[in-house]
Structure 1
Amino acid sequence: ATVTAMGGRLLRRWINQPLLDVDKLERRLDAVEALYRDTAARTEVVALLKGLPDLERLTGRVVQGIASPRDLVGIRKSLEAVPKIEAALAGLQGALGDLLEALNPCEEVVALISQAIADDPPATLNVGGVIRPGFSAELDGVVAAARDAKRWVANLERRERERTGIKSLKVGYNKVFGYYIEVTKANLDLVPKEYIRKQTLVNAERFITPELKEYEALILNAQERILDIEARIFREVCDRVAAASGRLLATARALARLDVYAALAEVAIRNRYVRPTLDDGDEIEILAGRHPVVEIVRREEPFVPNDVHLSNEDDQIIILTGPNLSGKSTFIRQVALIVLMAQIGSFVPAERARIGLVDRIFTRIGAQDEIWAGQSTFLVEMAETANMLRNATSRSLLIFDEIGRGTSTYDGISIAWAVVEYIHNHPKLRAKTLFATHYHELTELAEVLPRVRNYNVAVAEEGDRVVFLHKIVPGSADKSYGIHVAQLAGLPRTVIHRAEEILEELEKGSYRAPVRPRRVAEVRQLPLFPEASPIIEELKKLDLESMTPLEALNKLYELQRKVKGDLAT
């Protein structure tokens, strides 16, 4: 994992915006590999980056004029680490040359902040103590005057006790009356005549003297001046730091990149990843690929690696069948993740990987009702599928983990079959596709569509036990093992036995449901919605992308005339 906030944000951006440029990706991979091979440099760099302040955000706060004193200290600490990082990477100039060029220690900024700002300043300006002593002669003079006045007040209590003989005399301060001298009522006869009564309490009287008020004014005025001077100096320092914001942000981005490179190198070593081979071709070939998350989460079980080959010219669409829990979903997702990892510049979990860059990865995985939007599971599923078919290109990777489950079996099979045909036959699509399904009927597509391949997840039967081998092999599955999965889920034994009996009868074609038969009318699927008008149907069939603006305008006039004619009749 990354160790800085900047690195974490950058890694998220890389994942959300993978690259399509082979040269840029190779440069990223070179940097990752350099840190992968140089353990000492990587270890030192990670130690230096760990706990580093967020230079990117801090610089932004300075530029926006909302920085605090501690923000400047954070900038100083970040920049102080740069020379050490440069020294640690001195032997990796080839792979990290552009990154090292972007790093700038900004010595004048460090010197300015070090000279002007205290090492541990308060969080805000309104309490003083922000500017380091010695930076401003004006400020130092006012601070010294205030300090002398406070010392005089501090010594006043001792002097007055000695002068008046009142041992219980106290000098205090509050925000309402300022400084005062407090004398108990038992000693009021000893109060000097120059004391001026200010407040009467139950057991004491509070007094002031003209001299005390003079020093009070001096202290309060000095404190106000100190805050004003510190605020002015702080703004000047911030303005000078903001003038260097371009270099500061370049350094921050370089540090973030370094953090991501080191994190990718670390995870590659820890999990035995390999460097992928990237090109602009249309093939994806992965040998012994693994799911990067599942293999870590389930370390107690050895992960079964699998191969895959996809190509627009031959192995374009893989129909993957197999029982639940066998690993279909894990396999198709791991292919997508390996491609995504390769296209951010990461090593990948495999023995070997050759990735022809894809422009988009579309997934149709899982579905649930979106009640807030009034959409059923099936409608959500179909909307996602429609989006994939509309926006995919020949360079896209499509991942389907079941479609058509939210409707009747025949409807589901029909839709799934038509989707595969569309992807295979559409002249502008022909995207590489992984299609996991329970519909065994779809395996017949391989007999009629030349770029469709059947694969299944191997299963071993040991007596009454079924062992999922999690291995992807050519061919289609011959059984679904759904009853076995139901047994693993804990369905009552009587339900399991009855299901086995019904399955056996269904396979023989002899099962009859124990209900009164009814007359079967002509088989016809009833529409859920009113039939659309011919105008609507004509609009749906229009291929707007292939029409010129003039043709589209003429068609619009034609449809308008038809609508007016229908209204007139």
Structure 2
Amino acid sequence: MNGVKLTPMLEQYLRVKSEYPDTLLFYRMGDFYELFFEDAVTASRELQITLTSRNPGAASPVPMAGVPHHAADGYLSQLLEKGFRVAVCDQIEDPKLAKGLVKRAVTRVLTPGTTVEDASLRAKEHNYLAALFWDEREKAGGLAWADFSTGEWSGLFSRDQARLWQWAIKMSPRELLLPDGFEPPRQIAAVGLQISRYPARPHFDLAPATQRILAAQGVADLAVLDVADKPPLVRAMGAILSYLIQTQKQDITHLSPFRPVNLSKHMLLDEVTERNLEIFRRLDGKKGPGTLVHVLDRTITPMGGRLLESMLRQPWLESAPILATQEAVSLFVTDGALRDAVRCALDSVYDLERLAARIYLNRCAPKDFVALRQSLFGLAALRAALLAVPGNAPASDACRADDENPEPASVGVMSSDESCNVLSDVSGDVSSGVSGDVFGDISGLDSALGRADGPYAPDSPVTPDSPVTPASGALAGLAAVLAQWDDLSDIRDLLTRAFVDAPPPLVTEGGLFLPGYRPELDELMELTEHGEGRLKELLAEEQQASNLPRLKLGFNRVFGYYFELTKSGGYVPEHFERRQTLADRERYVTPRLKELEERLMEAGEKRKALEYSLFREVRETVAACRQRLASMAGVVARLDVWQGLAEAAVRWDWTRPQIHEGLAMEIRAGRHPVVEAAAGGDYIPNDLTLDDDRRVLLITGPNMAGKSTVLRQTAIIAVLAQIGSFVPAASARVGLVDRVFCRVGASDNLAMGQSTFMVEMSETARILRQAGKRSLVVLDEIGRGTSTFDGLALAWAVAEALADREEGGVRTLFATHYHELTRLEGVLPGVRNYNIAIKQWRGDIIFLRRLVPGPADRSYGIEVARLAGVPRAVVRRAGEILEELEKTRDAAAGERAGHGPKSAGQPALPGIFANPGTTGETCLPCTAHPLSLELAALDVDRITPLEALRMLGDFKSRYGGENAS
């Protein structure tokens, strides 16, 4: 900036900019937001807008770029998507009243994790801001995350730093706050999380963090939030609140009650398993077709979509909420008319959670109130659809389905004292929407969906044979919901009386309100909208009273309104005052014309000011009911998820699984939902059983036969079952799973310097360390990234470890090309061989896609290569080489078994010996050699060198020489 002469405006700009050095400064000037200097260059490049300059003729012109203020949201969303932070500097005084330079100040700082505008958000996805704090001295840490656009927030305390980082990746926040000096592991950079550095002091300090939390949550003790004994988590929570206060320039009081994640209540799916099962993204990182959520998500509303996302991230581990959800889904499956009516009603419901948050935070536009009004009419239609279910009408006369008044005043209209205390016991505490322990405390779900003492109450025993009675439990649940329904008819009526259907985009433009809303506004509207008629009436009166038929009415910006006569017009009335003389005409004003002009000019400004005041009044009224709106948003989200799961079940022909407390899994005609959706009617289902006799299944078969599909569909069925969904199978019994581990495919991580084999072993290590008795482990091709015998040894050891663990082994599906592992059946308890069947026909192989007992006879790799299009000459040569390798291996193996002379060849794995008369098959070690027994019995620490030499001579004479016995 050397050599640049700064105007007072630029000096003001630079003062503000100095306080926000790491942000782009949007500086309001009239109808534009302008950027200067380096910010202008950056914005021009990123937004593809014109880069101009201020004082272009000067020696050092100032780079300048700008966007219209009414279109700023679109540009801001582009910058946030690219990871920029933007400080919005607005005029904070009326330019008409300003003396000198208009005062300006930053009114908010926009960051990827704090935006609330729809243009910057994905409707069915959360937009998390997260903070992670690790106390190295205490060896404990906390991770908190909040969706500022909805008010949901939660977190996790752990003494395992790796687990915190796993959850940070799993929750995929748009922005992650870390204290200065705390370096994240390399995988955080590799997955693309945006890190925002934040001073550790005072923002992560315990004392101020505690005060911020107590103030934001309106509680007197952290114990109410279950974080009093979790100081690192408190620090992370406090940092989020501090960041929000700094960026939003206001106190943060709209967040729902904080509930830390209770790991004992939910199935755990780590980020690796989510990726390998392609729940939210394909393995290539893209969303949409090819993912489970794309097939499953039949929700209508954004709230329902976000709730389904949360359920998939953390399925339930307790039977009661699973079965209660199944009850509700069953009702929507069996009653197609109800499902269609509910879907139709939901189609008119906008994002109640985010609408309520924007209104509460004063970040709303007039269109938000129109959307809210339409959504509230949708609530009434939704309630009517639920009331139409036979036997579902509440007992109250005012709420009967056949009542002449379908929207009785006694339902949905609440007093101000009740406005923040509704639906508190439907699905736990849902007064904050779908927040809490990811999506709310589910302890009360049974009471909402069935009888409190019914078969699915939390304290009731659950067995695989529990009766399936969707009508009774689900109807009772809907009745419980309807009994506390709040359709917010008072707010709906207010918005119906107040706003036009198509309001202008800006509050300050006027034209927001309907006639009849306020008498004083009606008078101003009459003047502004019918002022031209008033002027024409006055003109006609003057023409008639003064007999001046050629009198005209005109207007210009200098003189305002005037009457005009030609100089040959004759008589000029006395009350006409000359205003301007032209060559052939004269312009006049009258007292009545000046008075009417003043009223018209003032009416426009007065109308805009009054409408702005009324808008603020309405906003405050609606903001006071935010908790009611959030409560109903939570109810709508749950209804939407239930009907959406039912819609998916009907569309894809899924069935209701049986949930039990045991470990067995029995799946009949199971399918992979994503593959089936892509394959249409060509999908071949499979049966699979995991029980005490079949705890570890070793699955062999050629590539492309479908091993990975069978593995992953089993894990997906377990996940779907434990969110309460129907599953893609003819029938299924699912023993509750506390963790699903899925390691499939081959991939590297070059950003972290990890090879394919290193990634494979890292994922395998995590499974071996963390898998327990109730886990479900899915392994595909362990050991394929290294040499044959290294890989076989590792795969063998992993299979043994899983089969021997937890008194009977961990439920495991293990796909492998190492046929040597199939000899584990009959040796290790619970290990069984299965293969994906194929058929050979005239030299070709046909994939039957069926899982059948027993091992595959060979890998068929060369046949698959031919199907893939490898040149025939290469395939033929590969067959010749394979034949020679098999002969060499058989000769070497025969030598070890004492069935042939010594020959060159690759040594067999220690302890594995060829079985004569077979090709490529192996058996477990035979009886140990006597020498190995003697060596094992030696105490080498007590043997002298001389004694050791004598022993070696003895061993040689007995076992190693020509005279050996």
Name 1:345's counterpart in structure 2. Answer: 724
Name 2:496's counterpart in structure 1. Answer: 114
Counterpart Cα distance in 1 of 2:619 and 2:357: 11
Whether the 8 Å CA contact 1:76–1:110 is kept in 2: the answer is yes
Secondary structure at the aligned position of 1:347 is classed as coil
Amino acid paired to 2:616: R
Counterpart Cα distance in 2 of 1:357 and 1:189: 101
Name 1:561's counterpart in structure 2. Answer: none
Displacement after TM superposition at 1:40 (Å): 1.3
Amino acid paired to 2:492: V
Name 2:512's counterpart in structure 1. Answer: 130
Whether the 8 Å CA contact 2:564–2:585 is kept in 1: the answer is yes
**Residue from 850, 860, 869 that aligns with 1:481:** 860
Secondary structure at the aligned position of 1:298 is classed as helix
Flag the 1:149–1:466 CA change in 2: closer, same or farther, 3 A.
closer
Displacement after TM superposition at 1:182 (Å): 11
Flag the 1:522–1:419 CA change in 2: closer, same or farther, 3 A.
closer
Counterpart Cα distance in 2 of 1:396 and 1:522: 37
State the TM-score, normalized to the length of structure 2: 0.49
Displacement after TM superposition at 1:294 (Å): 1.3
Which residues of 2 match residues 55-70 of structure 1 at below 5 A?
55-70=352-367
Displacement after TM superposition at 1:12 (Å): 1.3
Structure 1 range deviating more: 366-375 or 346-355? 366-375
**Residue from 226, 231, 237 that aligns with 2:618:** 237
Flag the 1:182–1:255 CA change in 2: closer, same or farther, 3 A.
same
Counterpart Cα distance in 1 of 2:503 and 2:889: 86
Flag the 1:464–1:164 CA change in 2: closer, same or farther, 3 A.
farther
Q: Is 1:410 aligned to residue 789 of structure 2?
A: yes
Deviations 1:349-379 (A, max 9, x none): 1111111111121111223222222222122
Counterpart Cα distance in 2 of 1:522 and 1:17: 48
Displacement after TM superposition at 1:70 (Å): 2.2
Flag the 1:145–1:305 CA change in 2: closer, same or farther, 3 A.
closer
Amino acid paired to 1:323: P
Counterpart Cα distance in 2 of 1:252 and 1:480: 54
Q: Is 1:268 aligned to residue 652 of structure 2?
A: no
Displacement after TM superposition at 1:95 (Å): 4.5
Alpha-carbon RMSD across the aligned residues, in angstroms, is 3.4
Amino acid paired to 2:684: V
**Residue from 246, 253, 256 that aligns with 2:634:** 253
Amino acid paired to 1:352: S
Flag the 1:411–1:338 CA change in 2: closer, same or farther, 3 A.
same
Displacement after TM superposition at 1:451 (Å): 1.9
Whether the 8 Å CA contact 1:103–1:250 is kept in 2: the answer is no
Deviations 1:264-298 (A, max 9, x none): 11221222211100122211111111111212211
Flag the 1:205–1:404 CA change in 2: closer, same or farther, 3 A.
farther
Whether the 8 Å CA contact 2:348–2:378 is kept in 1: the answer is no
Counterpart Cα distance in 2 of 1:439 and 1:99: 56
Deviations 1:203-234 (A, max 9, x none): 99997857566544432322222122112222
Amino acid paired to 1:117: F
Whether the 8 Å CA contact 1:180–1:206 is kept in 2: the answer is no
Counterpart Cα distance in 2 of 1:439 and 1:206: 106
Flag the 1:286–1:148 CA change in 2: closer, same or farther, 3 A.
closer
Name 2:333's counterpart in structure 1. Answer: 36
Amino acid paired to 1:124: L
Counterpart Cα distance in 2 of 1:367 and 1:159: 90
Q: Is 1:96 aligned to residue 475 of structure 2?
A: no
Amino acid paired to 1:73: V
Deviations 1:37-70 (A, max 9, x none): 1111111111221242222221222222222222
Identity among equivalent positions (%) equals 42
Name 1:220's counterpart in structure 2. Answer: 601
Displacement after TM superposition at 1:389 (Å): 2.1
Displacement after TM superposition at 1:447 (Å): 3.8
Structure 2: any 5+ residue segments left out of the alignment? 1-297, 393-474, 892-903, 909-965
Q: Is 1:171 aligned to residue 527 of structure 2?
A: no
Flag the 1:335–1:510 CA change in 2: closer, same or farther, 3 A.
closer
Name 2:526's counterpart in structure 1. Answer: 144
Whether the 8 Å CA contact 1:286–1:308 is kept in 2: the answer is yes
Amino acid paired to 2:524: V
Whether the 8 Å CA contact 2:349–2:376 is kept in 1: the answer is no
Whether the 8 Å CA contact 1:28–1:345 is kept in 2: the answer is yes
Counterpart Cα distance in 2 of 1:418 and 1:46: 52
Counterpart Cα distance in 2 of 1:8 and 1:173: 56
Deviations 1:469-490 (A, max 9, x none): 1111111111111111111111
Counterpart Cα distance in 2 of 1:283 and 1:131: 64
Counterpart Cα distance in 2 of 1:407 and 1:182: 97
Amino acid paired to 1:270: R
Q: Is 1:304 aligned to residue 687 of structure 2?
A: no
Q: Is 1:105 aligned to residue 105 of structure 2?
A: no
Q: Is 1:80 aligned to residue 377 of structure 2?
A: yes
Displacement after TM superposition at 1:179 (Å): 3.3
Counterpart Cα distance in 2 of 1:405 and 1:160: 100
Whether the 8 Å CA contact 1:3–1:51 is kept in 2: the answer is no
Counterpart Cα distance in 2 of 1:494 and 1:250: 69
Name 2:748's counterpart in structure 1. Answer: 369
Whether the 8 Å CA contact 1:182–1:204 is kept in 2: the answer is no
Flag the 1:111–1:508 CA change in 2: closer, same or farther, 3 A.
same
Whether the 8 Å CA contact 2:578–2:586 is kept in 1: the answer is no
Structure 1 range deviating more: 291-300 or 157-166? 157-166
Flag the 1:507–1:149 CA change in 2: closer, same or farther, 3 A.
same
- If asked which structure has higher relative contact order (CA below 8 Å, sep 6+), I would say 1
Counterpart Cα distance in 2 of 1:407 and 1:293: 31
Counterpart Cα distance in 1 of 2:564 and 2:585: 5
Deviations 1:492-511 (A, max 9, x none): 11111111111122222289
Name 1:438's counterpart in structure 2. Answer: 817
Structure 1: any 5+ residue segments left out of the alignment? 513-518, 524-569
Counterpart Cα distance in 1 of 2:349 and 2:480: 21
Displacement after TM superposition at 1:260 (Å): 1.6
Amino acid paired to 2:354: R
Counterpart Cα distance in 1 of 2:905 and 2:874: 30
Bigger helix fraction: 1
Secondary structure at the aligned position of 2:711 is classed as helix
Flag the 1:403–1:510 CA change in 2: closer, same or farther, 3 A.
closer
Q: Is 1:282 aligned to residue 663 of structure 2?
A: yes
Name 2:411's counterpart in structure 1. Answer: none
Whether the 8 Å CA contact 2:578–2:587 is kept in 1: the answer is yes
Counterpart Cα distance in 1 of 2:586 and 2:329: 74
Secondary structure at the aligned position of 2:325 is classed as helix
Secondary structure at the aligned position of 1:287 is classed as strand
Counterpart Cα distance in 2 of 1:168 and 1:328: 93
Which residues of 2 match residues 170-569 of structure 1 at below 5 A?
171-172=554-555, 177=558, 179=560, 194-197=577-580, 209=589, 214-301=595-682, 303-311=683-691, 313-427=692-806, 430-509=809-888
